[in-house]
A and B are shown apart, each in its own frame.
Chain A
């Protein structure tokens, strides 16, 4: 199947320390791919580069086969990408509902109330992110993914702080819904259900 997003032969260094060397990441429609590795291996950096959030020193980012000379997150977002960082997606300047509404109106997505219901944060919609617990905040961020309904999702530690029972309502679960799931599936189980695993 044709790849949607490809970060190819990526190299990146910080202050003389090489973080990535010829790393590649491909996103293919209909597939759930997981990237596993030890701390400091460069998983988050690779995701940031693929999302256009950080510029690589070497390598290129392609979207639907077209090379983006300087890929930026706003440009990729307009094409259908959503980048879920490991923290700080939602701003504390607005309520969760307002931010979900911004996404819905911008991309004609799912209703915030429906997304919040699916992720179990209906009661938190009118609160600001700082008033939520870590798990609630992550589920609110997953609700943002559901509202956006992206063509390609890059999620960094998508289950951070989310109880295994609540992880079943995440957008990644719907991507892997072709396979049978048990309600008690843990995030680890979901990684095992990924179409492809890559260990760095």
Chain B
């Protein structure tokens, strides 16, 4: 199921970048609305994870990488994992940071 580290590293890095992008945009909007961006509800965090994952798929489609990844034996389920896990880890870190600074 897990492809080689060279592929995994590249896709996880992409997942991190896209999560950072999604999180920065949402945090900026929340700050403008005078909400604490670190104090998001679990549902909002889940939406950010979903958005990051969808962005990962969109980016993979934009770069036309599906055939290459298919030939590498990387399934859609594995791709979901590569894009969702960095976002999940990031959200958990921010949650912990939010509680520590509360």
Q: Which residues of A contact B (CB under 8 A)?
A: 52-53, 72-75, 77-78, 82-83, 85, 88-94, 98-99, 101-103, 105-106, 144, 148
Contact = CB atoms under 8 A, between A and B. Distances in A.
A94 B72 contact: no
Interface of B: 3-7, 10, 63-65, 67-76, 78
A89 B63 contact: no
B71 A83 contact: yes
Contact of B71 (A92, A94, A101, A148): A148
A75 B75 contact: yes
A85 B71 CA distance: 11
Contacts of B70: 52-53, 72-74, 77, 83
B6 A105 contact: yes
A14 B70 CA distance: 23
**B-side interface mostly:** helix
Interface centre among A78, A89, A91, A92 (most CB of B within 10 A): A91
A102 B72 contact: yes
A89 B72 CA distance: 11
A101 B73 CA distance: 15
Contact of B72 (A52, A85, A93, A106): A106
A55 to B, nearest CB: 13
Contact of B68 (A52, A91, A101): A91
6 contacts: A73-B70, A74-B74, A74-B78, A78-B73, A89-B68, A102-B7
